[in-house]
Amino acid sequence: MRALTKKLLRESWHLRGQLLAIVAVVACGIANFIAMRSVERSLYVTRAAFYDGSRFADVFVNVRRAGEHIADRLREIDGVAIVETRVVADVMLDIEGVHEPASGVVVSIPDGGQPELNQLVLRNGRLPRSESDAEVVVSSAFADANTFSEGSTFYAVMNGRRRLLTIVGTAVSPEYVLEMKPGSFMIDNKRYGIMWMGRKGLAAALDMQGAFNSATVLLQPGASEHAVKERMDRILEPYGSLGTIGRDEQLSARFLDDEITQVRVQATIVPTVFLAVAVFLLNISLLRLVSTQRMYIAILKAFGYSNAAIGLHYIGFAIVAVFLGTILGIWGGREIGVWLTQLYAQFYRFPVLRFEMPQDVLVVAVIISITAAVIGALSAVRTALRLPPADAMRPESPKTFRPGLFERLPLLPRLSPIGNMIARNIERRPVKAALSVTMIALATAILVLGRFLFDTFDGLMSIQFDKIQRDDVALTFAKPVSHSSMFDLLSLPGVTTVEPYRMVGVDMSAHGHIKRTAIQAMWSDTAMRRIVDAHERIARLPHDGLLLSRRLADALHVQPGDLVDVKLLEEDRRTISLPVSGLVDDLLGVQAYTTFYNLAAILDEQGSLSGAYLAVDRNELAKFNTAVKNTPIIAGVAVKQAAIQSFKDNYGENMNISSTWIVAFAVIIAFGVVYNSARIALSERGNELASLRVLGFTNGEITIVLLGEQVVLTLIALPIGMILGYGMSSILPDAFATDMLRMPFVFSIRNLGLATLTIVSVALATGLLVRRRLTRLDLVAVLKSRE
């Protein structure tokens, strides 16, 4: 081995503390990069293959009922390749072992077997026989959550009739990669599932022979989706169409798309942060190394080593650290990626979701790492090369100091000499100090942001389940029922209070903007479903006109006082003008609210209800559930306790895992920065510290001198990090707001406290780690050398 290489390896070992901190930071960055890029790629490729292979439709539409011949008119539209009609129905389910009534969607498949579009991939079993109205294939997520297997049975209420369904197979479908109940914001595979049944059987059960209520369309390549949708809307309007939607609005497809985008963003931002920290750490550590090795550099130059050889030698230190970090990162990234993929596979159901680490990701990771190493080493190498051999032989001249800015400002307290040492050492290298502060602030901000996401989700849950949803159970009827049904509900076991609601789908338009939404009507003094905004304020229902979700008003460009055109999507499909009387920053969905009596008047009804909110005595809940399962007219049931439980089951653990990761990331960054800065300070000022010991300063006192700088920088970084974290947090709810869900802005002092506590603990622990070296300072040796 060449002598210079030996020097590199031995000295790397000597510097192992600092290099390991860098290794950890690089490893985090690369692991994130590898894991997230691989997951993104896995999801992307798998999705593309699945959508193509099973012919995922481009356009979807539901109608009330249309004769089969109408489909031919759709086929004639320019740009349409395939039209497939089907029958779908929302059903209530009664599953053994699930106390609460569950619900789901039954979708027909053609009599001959596989549909042309949205083909099923059977996981096991077989497709149902076409004429059977009892055989179904169920989605694999639903089957897994309920541990169903072939031959398992459950009850479904279809068209007012309770039927026993038998599972003959499980499948995944491109249409339901993610199964989420519309209007919900959580996955609950146990209580919501997709079923496929033969067309003949389902049509018979629903009295839909010779007709369809859903159509899916595959476009020709290059066709205008917009134009096709417009034509379809016009054709289907008379048949109770709820409007065509493209993939971008299709629930499962949109979620998946958002997820992939998010992963992609993460795969860029997170590694960038880590590698920036790594570059900074390399930069300060190697600069220090070069300055302690001035003499050796001079001797090497005197011996005739070329600049290139010396430059490479110092880049070598960066490469050693980054190389180890990259290896570790690739290994860790693979592991994390595999694990994440498994996690994703629980939520997103593909035929197979296999972790795939693309070769080019590896290549890019290595290139990024080497680039980071070179950038990190650059200024150190430049310093080494600039040293003239003769100059380098002489010891470094005493560092020049000036009175710091802090001392020149009037009115500030005078510092003690030790205070001055700390202040001047910081002010002497303002860029380095600023970068240290930035990095620690970044770590703080990451913690604040992570906690914010956690708190905000908690906040959403508490607003939804404590403030808004005061009922125990929300019932939905298959179609509006007369007001007298309220009394039937009151007679259900355990029911103590009933509050009716009426919901009607509408197309709302103003100023040329149009939005499909719903008007929800409740009692004006509703106690069960209050309208609560993001700031937890309770909005009052207007006596007149509509209260609009602010997001809806924004989309329509209307303000309170304006009129909106409302086209009812029920029965007579009239269009009426209604005044907007208020706006509310609500969190779930976009809709208009009004009083029950208002809407009854608008609809010209005697107080029909779409459903009701119930208070149910907890002790009677079991009886109540049984009764509801046997009430065919009920099409949907939402039990609050079950929703809370399902949230805990599905998300609780994941939230814990991700917050652990976030804390770990921040800790590694803070540790890396504080450790390396303190080690460098120790190396730069070891002599100074030993001199102080000689003068009779205690170990405790020189610890203050050594770590004071880190303490000051950390203290400066904390508020900056908090502000940064607060700023990023305040952008997030808006940035991630969708029609489906807006996050409240929940920011607590506790969040800042936790971040501070974490960063201060890490800084302290790291400081103490370095402090141990102070007891080993060789007082006598220091006095013999000049440096």
Partner 1 sequence: MHTDHTRADVIFDVRDVGKTYTMGDVDVVALRSVSLTIRGGELLVILGASGSGKSTLLNILGGLDVPSTGTVSFRGTDLTHATDAKLTAFRRKSVGFVFQFYNIIPSLTALENVKLVTDIADDPMDAREALQLVGLEDRMHHFPSQMSGGEQQRVAIARAIAKKPDVLLCDEPTGALDYSTGVKVLDVIEHVHRQLDATVALITHNAGIADMADRVIKMRSGEIVEEYTNATRKTPAELIW
Ligand X SMILES: Nc1ncnc2c1ncn2[C@@H]1O[C@H](COP(=O)(O)OP(=O)(O)O)[C@@H](O)[C@H]1O
Binding site for ligand X (CB under 6 A): 780-781
Q: Which is nearer to partner 1, 581 or 687 (CB)?
A: 687
701 binds, among ligand X, partner 1, none (CB under 5 to 8 A by kind): partner 1
- How far apart, in whole angstroms, are the C-alpha atoms of residue 337 and residue 340? 5
Q: Nearer to partner 1 by C-beta: 222 or 398? A: 398
Our finding on whether 399 is near partner 1 (CB under 8 A) is: yes
Min. distance of Cβ 427 from partner 1 in angstroms? 9
User: How far apart (Å, rounded) are the C-alpha atoms in residues 259 and 515?
Assistant: 25
Nearest distance in Å: CB 15, ligand X: 24
695, 749, 772, 776: which one contacts partner 1 (CB under 8 A)? 695
The residue at minimum Cβ distance from ligand X is 780
Q: Are 205 and 133 in contact (CB under 8 A)?
A: yes
Phi, psi of 558 (to 5 degrees): -120, 160
In angstroms, what is the minimal distance from the CB of 332 to partner 1?
Answer: 40
Of 316-324, 398-406, 611-619, 656-664: span binding partner 1 (CB under 8 A): 398-406
Residue 719: closest CA among 678, 760, 681: 760
Residue 697 interacting partner from ligand X, partner 1, none (CB closer than 5 to 8 Å by kind): partner 1
Site for partner 1 in 418-477 (CB under 8 A): 418, 420-421, 424-425, 428
Partner whose binding site includes residue 688, from ligand X, partner 1, none (CB under 5 to 8 Å by kind):
partner 1
Size of interface with partner 1, in residues (CB under 8 A): 34
Q: Which of 219/713 has CB closer to partner 1? A: 713
Residue 418 interface partner, choices partner 1, ligand X, none, CB cut-off 5-8 Å depending on type: partner 1
Stretch of 2-10, 377-385, 413-421, 713-721 contacting partner 1, by CB under 8 A: 413-421
What is the DSSP code (8-state) at residue 618? G
DSSP state of 484: T
Tokens 């895992």 -> residue: 657
d(CA 33, CA 43): 15
- Residue range at the interface with partner 1 (CB under 8 A); choices 50-58, 111-119, 417-425, 734-742: 417-425
Q: What would the x/- binding string for partner 1 be over residues 713 to 752, using CB under 8 A?
A: ----------------------------------------
> Shortest Cβ distance from residue 787 to partner 1 (Å)?
9
Q: Residue 721 corresponds to which amino acid?
A: G
Provide, rounded to whole angstroms, the least separation between the CB of residue 690 and ligand X. Answer: 13
Choices 109-117, 129-137, 415-423, 657-665 (CB under 8 A): range interacting with partner 1? 415-423
User: Least distance to ligand X from the beta carbon of 693, Å?
Assistant: 15
CA distances from 218 to 53, 188, 229, 230, 624 (A): 13, 30, 12, 15, 45
Binder of partner 1 out of 2, 221, 303, 416 (CB under 8 A): 416
**CB under 5 to 8 A by kind: which of partner 1, ligand X, none does 13 bind?**
none
Nearer to partner 1, 3 or 780 (CB): 780
Give φ, ψ of 472 to 5 degrees: -90, -35
Least spacing, CB of residue 699 vs partner 1, in Å: 8
771 near partner 1, judged by CB under 8 A: no
Which residues from 548-607 bind partner 1, rule CB under 8 A?
none
Q: Which is nearer to ligand X, 9 or 779 (CB)?
A: 779
> Which segment (168-176, 337-345, 663-671, 693-701) binds partner 1 by CB under 8 A?
693-701
- 446 and 725 Cβ atoms separated by less than 8 Å: yes
C-alpha 152/C-alpha 136 separation (Å) is 10
CA-nearest of 10, 7, 17, 13 to 672 is 17
Residue 491 CA neighbour count, 13 Å, CB half: 6
Residue 399 or 784 with smaller CB distance to ligand X: 784
Looking at the Cβ atoms of 587 and 690, the one nearer to partner 1 is 690
Please choose which of partner 1, ligand X, none residue 424 contacts, taking the beta carbon within 5 to 8 angstroms, the exact cut-off set by kind. partner 1
- CB 395 → partner 1: shortest distance, Å? 10
Residues 6+ apart with CB under 8 A from 14: none
Cβ-based nearer residue to partner 1, 402 or 537: 402
Planar angle of CA 567, 571, 577, nearest 5 degrees: 25
Sketch the per residue contact string, 669 through 688, with partner 1: x for CB under 8 A, - otherwise: ------------------xx
Is 126 a binding residue for partner 1 by CB under 8 A? The answer is: no
Cα→Cα distances 374→274, 282, 326, 696, Å: 16, 9, 14, 44
Of ligand X, partner 1, none, which one sits near residue 577, judging by CB under 5 to 8 A according to partner kind? none
Q: Using CA atoms, how far apart are residues 136 and 156, in angstroms rounded to an integer? A: 11
Q: Which residues pair with 215 in a beta bridge?
A: 61, 85
- Cα 61 from chain centre: 29
Of partner 1, ligand X, none, which one sits near residue 390, judging by CB under 5 to 8 A according to partner kind? none
The Cβ of residue 430 has, within 10 Å, a number of other Cβ atoms equal to 11
Which amino acid, residue 662?
I
Name which of 538 and 781 has its Cβ closer to ligand X. 781
Write down the least CB distance from residue 403 to partner 1, Å.
8
- Cα(114)–Cα(119) distance, integer angstroms: 6
**Cβ proximity to partner 1, 417 vs 512, nearer residue:** 417
Query: Of 159 and 420, which has the nearer Cβ to partner 1?
Result: 420
Q: Cβ closer to ligand X: 227 or 783?
A: 783
Distance CA 691, CA 168 (A): 84
Interaction partner, residue 692 (ligand X, partner 1, none; CB < 5-8 Å by kind): partner 1
Q: Is 414 in the site for partner 1 (CB under 8 A)?
A: no
The pairs formed by 595-599 with CB atoms below 8 angstroms and a separation of 24 or more are 595/521, 595/522, 595/523, 595/524, 595/541, 595/542, 595/543, 596/500, 596/501, 596/502, 596/521, 596/522, 596/523, 596/524, 597/524, 598/521, 598/543, 598/544, 598/545, 599/502, 599/504, 599/519, 599/521
By the rule CB under 8 A, 780 interacts with partner 1: yes
Q: How far is the CB of 394 from ligand X (least distance, A)?
A: 23
373, two tokens: 């190493």
* Burial status of residue 484 (CB atoms within 10 A of its CB: 0-12, 13-18, 19 or more): exposed
**Cα radius of gyration (the chain):** 33
CB of 289 to partner 1, least distance (A): 20
Short-list 149, 193, 190, CA closest to 167 = 149
- Measured CA to CA in angstroms, residue 367 lies from 271, 318, 673 at distances of 13, 14, 24
- Residue from 147, 400, 491, 619 in contact with partner 1 (CB under 8 A): 400
Closer residue to partner 1 in complex, CB, 118/677: 677
243, β-bridge pairs? none
Pairing relation of β-strands 59-67 and 135-139? unpaired
Q: What are the C-alpha distances in Å from 173 to residues 47, 122, 254, 346?
A: 11, 9, 15, 15
Look at the block and give the residue holding tokens 């399962």: 629
- Output the CA–CA distances (angstroms, integers) from residue 362 to 45, 189, 194, 331, in the order listed: 17, 36, 39, 11
Query: 294-303 and 307-347 are packed helices; what angle lies between their axes, rounded to 10 degrees?
Result: 120
Stretch 328-387 residues interacting with partner 1 (CB under 8 A): none
**Up-side HSE of residue 486: CA atoms within 13 Å toward CB?**
15
Among 323, 406, 697, 736, binds partner 1 (CB under 8 A): 697
- Give the per-residue contact string, 698-717, with partner 1 (x = CB under 8 A; - = no): xx-x----------------
The string of DSSP codes covering 17-48 is: HHHHHHHHHHHHHHHHHHHHHHHHHHHHHHHH
Site for partner 1, rule CB under 8 A:
397-403, 416-418, 420-421, 424-425, 428, 687-688, 691-699, 701, 779-780, 782-786
